[in-house]
Amino acid sequence: MKKTNLVDHGFMDARIKLIDVAAFLDRIQRHEQTDDYRFHALKDAINELQTDEVGRVGRILSKLSDHSVEPIDKADIQGAFGAPKPNNQ
């Protein structure tokens, strides 16, 4: 396999996405909508970006997952929200 400089390859894309996340958090705060549980779930997940151990993606996905183990009684909706509601834990 040819060795590619992956920083050259992906830095600008990652930079764009990081700035977009920052803009999203600022936007939510400016519009005073920070009481939504997803805002806090995202901020909590972002802490993983500051860790040094490989596996950040898996840990972020885990933080944004429902960790209950029993099936729910009934599916009242068909969609998903991206983060578990606090009472699901």
Give the binding site for other proteins (CB under 8 A): 1-4, 6, 9-10, 57-58, 61-62, 64-69, 71-75, 77-84, 88
CB atoms within 10 A of CB 41: 18
Contact 64, 45 (CB under 8 A): yes
Q: Which is nearer to other proteins, 14 or 19 (CB)?
A: 14
* Residue of 32, 28, 9 whose CA lies nearest to 20: 28
Q: Which is nearer to other proteins, 44 or 66 (CB)?
A: 66
Q: Which is nearer to other proteins, 47 or 62 (CB)?
A: 62
